[in-house]
Amino acid sequence: MSKTILLIGTLDTKGHEYEFVRDAVRARGFQTFVLDAGVLGEPTFTPDSPAIRTAEAGGGSLAELRERRDRGHALEIMGLGARALVGPLLAEGKFDAVFCMGGSGGTSIGATAMQALPVGLPKLIVSTMASGDVAPYVGVKDITMMYSVVDVAGLNRGSRRVFANAAGAICGEAQRRAVTARAGRREQRSGAAPARLVAHLERQDGVAPPRIQAVFEGVPRVDEAHRANRTLPPWPRWNKRNRRSRR
């Protein structure tokens, strides 16, 4: 079954760019689900989830946003709307990875939505903001930021290369996640999977707190796990055998 990439973007101003990425993703055998967060005008192609739905999910009205013409307010409403929509879509199995691109506005909308998604789900943003401080966009989630090099405004020889690479990257992440998930299910069925520990890691200036380090002291080391499963002989004997073979 092919995987689906969720594309979150402003299709009124970045529609041609998103159409390019959508086609690049489909050319790799993946499906797409497009969520429109544009405010200024009509999308250049028909999305799967229209902007009016995004605005309503964020507690606003698309007509009111267009009449008010307040960029900051519109970004907040559409960001909250996209954030409110991605959770149910993920629960319904509508997508396996999420992609966004744009300038400061589009990046803000996409990042707001991605920060509501669980760690491990592939998330990629192609942005003009990626060459600076990305902490406000990444937060404490595994969001990948790719610098667009050029402005996300039109298609040319340079932008096509960047966008095509980004499409390949998010497809690769989605495929790798699927392979890892299948391997995990096989291990669980066979009963050979080692015990896994899921902990909520707290951020503390980039260093794991002592209580988190103490938790992981109880997790078996890789060499101990190998010995328990008898998949490899103990390391000293393995090294000695290698030394003999080299002579």
- Answer whether residue 204 shows pLDDT above 70: no
Q: Span 111-133, mean pLDDT?
A: 95
Instruction: Using DSSP bridges, classify how beta strands 97-102 and 31-36 pair: parallel, antiparallel or unpaired.
Output: unpaired
Q: Which two tokens stand for residue 36?
A: 């429109």
Listing DSSP states for 154-217 in one string gives S--HHHHHHHHHHHHHHHHHHHHHHHHHHHHHHHHHHT-PPP-----PPPSTTS--HHHHHHHT
pLDDT at 94 over 50: yes
The rounded mean pLDDT for the chain is: 83
Confidence band (pLDDT; 50, 70, 90) for 201?
very low
Residue bearing the bigger pLDDT, 144 or 226? 144
d(C-alpha 96, C-alpha 22), whole Å:
15
pLDDT of residue 176: 83
Task: Report the greatest alpha carbon distance in the chain.
Answer: 81
* 214 confidence band (pLDDT: 50, 70, 90): low
Residue pointed to by tokens 């707190």 = 209
Q: What three-state secondary structure class fits 127? A: strand
Q: Is the pTM of this model over 0.85?
A: no
